[in-house]
Amino acid sequence: MDTITIDSLHIKTIIGVNDDEKVTPQDLYLTVALGVDVQTSLTSDDLNDTVDYDSLSKSLIDFVQQSRYELIEALSHDCVKLIFDFSNKIKQVDFTVSKPNAIPDAITTMFSMTRHR
């Protein structure tokens, strides 16, 4: 299995438990490592034989911007479902969401999950 990684995809969205978080868009950064079966693309050099990570990134951005979650854990779960639905070439997802300034004295707070098909 090979890996395609989208590192620190920046998205502004409404997320959080506190009242101010429910009205003010916040920065999130998604890092997605895809365990993929792209053997055919290695010789075909054809986008159809791999995972179109540009389209996947746009799908994630649209989904997260339109969502309203309190917890980054719940958001992560649904993002991973979206990723698996995007392509059957994806066999594993390592997903991390980073929420800067969630804790006053921390640079960021992160949640990670790994799922296999």
Overall average pLDDT of the 98-109 stretch: 94
109: confidence class by pLDDT, cuts 50, 70, 90: very high
Residue 72's domain comprises 2-116
Number of domains in the chain: 1
Q: What's 35's domain CATH number?
A: 3.30.1130.10
Nearest to 71 by CA among 21, 10, 3, 20: 21
* Percentage of residues of the chain with pLDDT beyond 90: 97
Please list, in sequence order, all residues whose beta carbon lies within 8 angstroms of the beta carbon of residue 112, skipping any fewer than 6 positions away. 76, 94, 95, 96
Kindly report, residue by residue over 5-52, the tens digit of the pLDDT: 999 999 999 999 999 999 999 999 999 999 999 999 999 999 999 999
Nearest to 83 by CA among 111, 105, 104, 52: 52
pLDDT at 3: 98
* Percentage of residues of the chain with pLDDT beyond 70: 100
pLDDT at 101: 87
Q: Is 112 helix (H, G, I), strand (E, B) or coil?
A: strand
pLDDT at 88: 95
